[in-house]
Amino acid sequence: MNSGWRKNLGVLFLAVGLAFSFACAWGSQKTPEKEEPSVRVTKLLDEWLRTREDGGSCASGGRSYPFVDCGRIQAGIVSLGLEFPTNPEVLLVNAVVAFETHQPELAQSYLDALLEQDPSHPGAAVLRSRLALDQGNLPHALRLLNDQLTLRPDSADLREALGSVYYLSGEFDAARRELTIAERLGAPAWRVAFNRGLIDEAQGRGDQAMDYYRKALEENPEYEPARSRLRGLESERGL
């Protein structure tokens, strides 16, 4: 299958980020004694994500000392997982951090625990499907996402992820259908355009793919995967 999607590490993970926002909103409605771990883990996650804005990334396993101590942040997130082993926000953030630091088995254990206690959790399901794809297990990713959609058919994140699985399976019409539904449900226009570009490129429709990549860049000028694929197609045509 076309390797372009695998280079786009943000497509599925961005959906996880959106789902986590919903998870935090859900957690904030709980009783006061249940709010504390959510507040603490959100603060640590904010620190973790801020390293990207500073030009670095804790996800690379680096240390941005003296401004950010990545080890301290990660240790704090892991510690919360031990202290609150059933809190959904804590489980999800631990899974995300394990995924970003290249610990797929650990990420899977957090996600499986979360999905066991909350079978309808789009964010966890999207990331779990991403892990399955990384393992080359397309049938498992497909089954997981379809099962989730029976519970949450209005989830744009699940629709986007399912479209990615169909794309990797070579089922391009099905991939387009899921992207159309995701768009109607509010998926970001730039991400939908990029994925449509990947499908057209895989089918040899370079001109259409370039139009979609340009549209993605109009919506999100900082999205480098779209810029890279556009430059590649343009150079092939001598543009």
| Residue 60 located in a structural domain | yes
Structural domains of the chain, count: 1
Q: Is the overall model pTM greater than 0.85, yes or no?
A: no
| Residue 95 located in a structural domain | yes
Which residue segment(s) compose the domain that 86 sits in? 4-156
pLDDT digits (tens, 9 = 90+) for 183-239: 999 999 998 999 999 999 999 999 999 999 999 999 999 888 899 999 999 999 888
| Residue 103 located in a structural domain | yes
Q: For 214, list phi and psi in degrees, rounded to 5.
A: -65, -40
Residue 61: pLDDT band with limits 50, 70, 90: low
CA distance linking residue 116 with residue 160, whole number of Å:
23
Domain with residue 111: its CATH number is 1.25.40.10
- Sign of the four-CA dihedral 201, 205, 207, 212: negative
pLDDT digits (tens, 9 = 90+) for 146-166: 999 999 999 998 999 999 899
